[in-house]
Amino acid sequence: MTVNVSSLSLNPAVSPDDVDRVSVGFSLDRTRNDGFSTYLDEEVDYCILKKTPEPDVSVVILLLDFRTDLIKVRFSSEAASLLPRILFVSEENGTALNTKLLKSSEPSSDSGKNPPKTNENADGKGEKSKQSTTSSQSMVEQKHPFHKDGETYSFQFSFNISSDKQEGLYSLYFHKCVAKKGPANDQQLFSLDIDITEKNPESYLSAGEIPLPKLYISMALFFFLSGTVWIHILRKRRNDVFKIHWLMAALPFTKSLSLVFHAIDYHYISSQGFPIEGWAVVYYITHLLKGALLFITIALIGTGWAFIKHILSDKDKKIFMIVIPLQVLANVAYIIIESTEEGTTEYGLWKEILFLVDLLCCGAILFPVVWSIRHLQEASATDGKDFIGKLHTTHSIAVFPGTQSSGDVLPAAINLAKLKLFRHYYVMIVCYIYFTRIIAILIKIAVPFQWKWLYQLLDEMATLVFFVLTGYKFRPASDNPYLQLSQDDEDDLEMEAVVTTSGVMEGMKKVKKVVNGSAEPQGEWESTA
């Protein structure tokens, strides 16, 4: 990692009287994964630059000393073997400056003032080191000069990972602390240009992102194959195809195309260190289309459009008026997050917006499914009551044709089958939402940094499984669960109808068996006397 800081300036400029009041510098934090970090991510009421690095924390502090025009590099001596060596480059000769390591001991509750130090000639080359001891806790400090041009400062440093112990997830923070002066803090503005180059041995990507190009292109192939199989099913069952089936067909191909562009985008970042804007824009467009299409398809299936009813009610239309704009906003937030740095104000704001909007979208698409379940429950209860009333009033023979359009009990039973299907689909949606959202947090905490790509793998696999299960449950076929009675429950294996309550047939009943979704025209007569 190479960091080149140029044109660092403060407004107002630091005067000799304000040197002890203003602290500016960087901190380099190393963790094993992205779930746990040091106190650098926490809200603190003290200046981190003036706090002594704790022995068990892998943190390097780089503090700019405006009085001596030096950069003080501090870290715990106990963590020295776990941290890489920071090398500074002199702008005058372009060579790394080797400075003497000096050990000092400071209390953990550092007051911010440098302890008194004494000069001593440490070696024959005239390099000076300073040493002071105030407690038993040790700290290593290095000093390096930086370039000053008027009121602007510039310097460059780098580090290399030399051992397995030093491997980890590194985060670079910039800090500016202003001590209180009077009743309130003075406003101290800063400006700087910083150029950071991060490179692993074979890629510019982070260690946890190196497998992503291959992962995305592989998953794109799986989604494309699933879409191809779905198109084959639609062509084979043309008579049973609804409009929503073609909408479902567009989803895996859009998802596949989005993953292809995502893989290309990551490939260029891996090989060149920066994305190609054209490929990034195409990916963001397909990603937006995929997200909108996914939520629209789930909402349409949830409302029962084309399966139960052919028009959307006013309540259903309101859901789409809410979900579609929220999806657009969520994708805009995602694009902004992907194209901005984590330390910017916009990143934190849009990350919170994305979380909130995504939560609202996931909740909104569950409402149509709940409404359909309630509608089917009412329809099933109504159909069942009507049939029982007819039996007691007409004493006529009940007919059980193998079609959906006639009969009294069959619609009620079909509604029950649909009701079970919608409940299963509701559980599928909830499991998919929770799995893809919560697993991100669990993996972030549990796995090491180099296995961070597992989240993308499990997320894409969960999406593929969700697509396949949805297609299987709502497939266009004559034996579709929407068009037949359930074969799983014992209550649906046979239906009984009282033929008559008088005459020679009294005490007899006709037993109808359901085979392949339709009632057989012939049945058995049995006596219940």
Q: Are residues 149 and 292 in the same domain?
A: no
**Strand 118-121 vs strand 128-131: parallel, antiparallel, or unpaired?**
antiparallel
For 348-370, write each residue's pLDDT tens digit. Answer: 888 888 888 888 888 887 877 78
Q: What is the distance between the alpha carbons of residues 117 and 37, in angstroms, rounded to a whole number?
A: 32
Given the structure tokens 């073997």, which residue do they identify? 81
Q: Name beta bridge partners: 142.
A: 73
For 301-325, write each residue's pLDDT tens digit. Answer: 877 776 656 666 677 777 778 877 8
* Residue 79, pLDDT score: 82
Q: What is the distance between the alpha carbons of residues 373 and 375, in angstroms, rounded to a whole number?
A: 5
DSSP letters for 407-452:
-SHHHHHHHHHHHHHHHHHHHHHHHHHHHHHHHHHHHHHHS-GGGT
The torsion angles phi and psi of 311, rounded to 5 degrees, stand at -135, 155
- Asked if residue 403 is part of any domain, the answer here is no
Cα 335–chain centre separation? 13
* Residue 386, pLDDT score: 52
- Asked if residue 511 is part of any domain, the answer here is no
Cα 414–chain centre separation? 39
- Asked if residue 130 is part of any domain, the answer here is no
Q: Chain-wide mean pLDDT for the chain?
A: 74
* Full strand arrangement of the beta sheet holding 59-65: 102-105, 138-145, 70-76, 59-65, 22-31, 169-178
- Asked if residue 481 is part of any domain, the answer here is yes
Question: Closest by alpha carbon to 279, among 253, 252, 257, 294?
Answer: 257
Q: Are residues 328 and 357 in the same domain?
A: yes
Neighbours of 149 (CB within 10 A): 11
Q: Are residues 188 and 257 in the same domain?
A: no
Element (H, E) at 138: strand 138-145
For 260-281, write each residue's pLDDT tens digit. Answer: 999 999 999 999 988 888 998 9
Which residues neighbour 372 within 8 Å (Cβ) at sequence distance 6 or greater? 302, 303, 304, 308, 422
Q: Please compute the mean of the pLDDT values over residues 493-503 and round it to a whole number.
A: 39
For 5-56, write each residue's pLDDT tens digit. Answer: 998 988 888 777 777 788 899 999 888 877 666 555 566 677 888 887 777 7
Neighbours of 403 (CB within 10 A): 11
CATH number of the domain to which 224 belongs: 1.20.1070.10
Q: Please compute the mean of the pLDDT values over residues 96-121 and round it to a whole number.
A: 38
For 412-435, write each residue's pLDDT tens digit. Answer: 666 677 777 777 888 888 888 888
- Asked if residue 529 is part of any domain, the answer here is no
Q: Are residues 321 and 415 in the same domain?
A: yes
* Residue 479, pLDDT score: 54
Q: Are residues 157 and 287 in the same domain?
A: no
Q: Are residues 151 and 265 in the same domain?
A: no
Q: Are residues 150 and 235 in the same domain?
A: no
- The DSSP call for residue 102 is E
State percent of the chain over pLDDT 70.
69
Q: Are residues 301 and 371 in the same domain?
A: yes
Cα 323–chain centre separation? 19
Query: Terminus-to-terminus CA distance in the chain, angstroms?
Result: 91
pLDDT higher than threshold 90 for residue 224: yes
Q: Are residues 219 and 148 in the same domain?
A: no
Last residue of a domain, one of 197, 220, 240: 197
Q: How far is CA 520 from each of CA 164, 359, 427, 478, 516, rounded to the nearest angstrom?
A: 72, 49, 34, 16, 10
- The DSSP call for residue 15 is P
- Helices first, then strands: H and E counts in the chain: 8, 17
Domain extent for 70: 2-93+140-197
Q: What is the distance between the alpha carbons of residues 439 and 319, in angstroms, rounded to a whole number?
A: 27
Q: Are residues 191 and 246 in the same domain?
A: no
Asked whether the beta carbons of 33 and 448 are under 8 A apart, the reply is yes
Q: Are residues 156 and 216 in the same domain?
A: no
Q: Where are the alpha helices (DSSP H) in 195-313?
A: 212-236, 243-272, 277-303
Tokens standing for residue 454 = 């597992």
Q: How far is CA 233 from each of CA 206, 236, 241, 466, 472, rounded to the nearest angstrom?
A: 42, 5, 9, 18, 10
- Asked if residue 98 is part of any domain, the answer here is no
| SS3 state at 401 | coil
Q: What is the distance between the alpha carbons of residues 484 and 470, in angstroms, rounded to a whole number?
A: 17
- Asked if residue 468 is part of any domain, the answer here is yes
The CA-CA-CA angle for residues 44, 49, 52, to 5°, reads 90
- Asked if residue 490 is part of any domain, the answer here is yes
Q: Are residues 359 and 489 in the same domain?
A: yes
For 238-262, write each residue's pLDDT tens digit. Answer: 888 888 889 999 999 999 999 999 9
Burial (CB count <10 Å: 0-12, 13-18, 19+), residue 11: exposed
Total domains present in the chain: 2
> Residue 204 carries which side chain, given as an amino acid letter?
Y
The residue among 499 and 461 whose pLDDT is bigger is 461
Q: Please compute the mean of the pLDDT values over residues 504-524 and round it to a whole number.
A: 46
Q: Name beta bridge partners: 129.
A: 120
Phi and psi based region of residue 382 (left: phi greater than 0; alpha: psi -120 to 50; beta: remaining): alpha
